[in-house]
Amino acid sequence: MEYEEAVASAPAGWRHFDIGDIARLPPAVRERELARVPRGEPDERVLRALFWTLVYHLEPQRWDDLARIEPIAPELIAALPGGGDVALDVGAGSGRLTRHLVKKGHRVIAVEPSAGLRALLARRLPNVEVVAGWAEQLPLGDGIAQLTAACGALGPDPAVLGELRRVTARGGVIALISPEHPEWFEEQGWKRTVVARPPVPDHAPELDEFFGPPDPPHEMVMTTV
C-alpha cells in the first residue's frame, strides 16, 4: 500500500501503538518500513503508516482474531483450481486461505514475513511448508507452482507481479483475493470476480473498535501464466 494511502486509511487501533514500538520490530522489517517514511514525519503519521506492520509483527494473535471473523467468500474458494499440484500462498498470515488450498488437495507452500504469524500457521496446518519471505523476492524456484495465490496481501507492484509470474508454471494460475486496486488488474485483462460479502460471525465489539467494520474478502482477480 502506498505511504499516503496507509496514513489515511489506518483504523483507530493505531492509537494502541507507541512510537517506541517501532524499535521492537525485527531489524530487517523495521529497516524496510522506515525506508518508506519521509524525513521529519510526525509520530502520528508514522504510526498510522506502519499500523498493519505493527499488528502482523508485534500482535499476530490480534490479526488472527480479525481473520477468524472475516471468512473468505466460499464462491471464490470454489473458483480456485484444485487437486494434487503445488500451490503457493503468498503473505499467508495465520492461514485463512492456506487451509482452503490444503482442503482442495494441493501440496501447499506458505510464504509469510511475520514470524508470529508463521508460528500460528505452522501449528494449525502441520502439513504445510512454511517459509519466511517477501513477495518482492520469493525464496522459491522458477515455475514451481501450478497455483500462486494470495489473500489481502498484494497489489499491482511490478516487482511483486514479476515474482508471482516467475514462480508460477506455464499454464498455471495466479489468483489474488482482495487485491489492492482490483480495477488495475481488470484493465490488464485479468478476470475479476465480485460476489456477495459473507456474513460476519458474532464477535467481541473491541475488534470493530480496533480495526473498524469487518470486511470479509469477496473479490478476486485471476490470470493464467
Ligand X SMILES: C[S@@+](CC[C@H](N)C(=O)[O-])C[C@H]1O[C@@H](n2cnc3c(N)ncnc32)[C@H](O)[C@@H]1O
> Which residue number is nearest to ligand X in terms of Cβ?
93
Q: Does 67 engage in binding with ligand X (CB under 6 A)?
A: yes
Interface stretch with ligand X, choices 19-27, 101-109, 132-140, 185-193 (CB under 6 A): 132-140
Site string for ligand X, 27-66 (x = CB under 6 A): -----------------------------x----------
- CA–CA separation, 164 and 110 (whole Å): 13
Q: Of the two residues 49 and 90, which places its CB atom closer to ligand X in the complex?
A: 90
Q: How many residues bind ligand X (CB under 6 A)?
A: 18
Measured in whole angstroms, the distance separating CA 31 from the mean position of its chain's CA atoms is 20
Element (H or E) spanning 67, and its range?
A: helix 60-69
210 belongs to the binding site for ligand X (CB under 6 A): no
Q: Which stretch binds ligand X (CB under 6 A): 22-30, 36-44, 85-93, 101-109?
A: 85-93
Q: 145-151 and 129-131 as β-strands: parallel, antiparallel, unpaired?
A: unpaired
Nearest distance from residue 63's CB to ligand X, in Å? 7
12-20, 99-107, 130-138, 203-211 -> range binding ligand X (CB under 6 A): 130-138
Those residues with Cβ within 8 angstroms of residue 17's Cβ, 6 or more apart along the chain or in another chain: 47, 50, 51, 54, 58
CA–CA distance, 186 with 223 (Å, rounded to integer)? 10
Q: Work out which of 13, 71, 116, 152 binds ligand X, going by CB under 6 A.
A: 152
Of 46, 61, 35, 41, the closest CA to residue 10 belongs to 46
Beta strand residue intervals within the chain, DSSP E: 86-90, 107-111, 129-131, 145-151, 168-177, 191-194, 219-224
List the x/- string, 86-105, binding to ligand X by CB under 6 A: ----xxxx--xx--------
For residue 157 the three cell numbers come to: 507492484
Query: What whole-number distance in Å separates Cα of residue 155 and Cα of residue 120?
Result: 24
Q: Of residues 113, 155, 156, 216, which one binds ligand X by CB under 6 A?
A: 113
Give the interface with ligand X as residue ranges (CB under 6 A): 56, 67, 90-93, 96-97, 112-114, 117, 134-136, 151-153
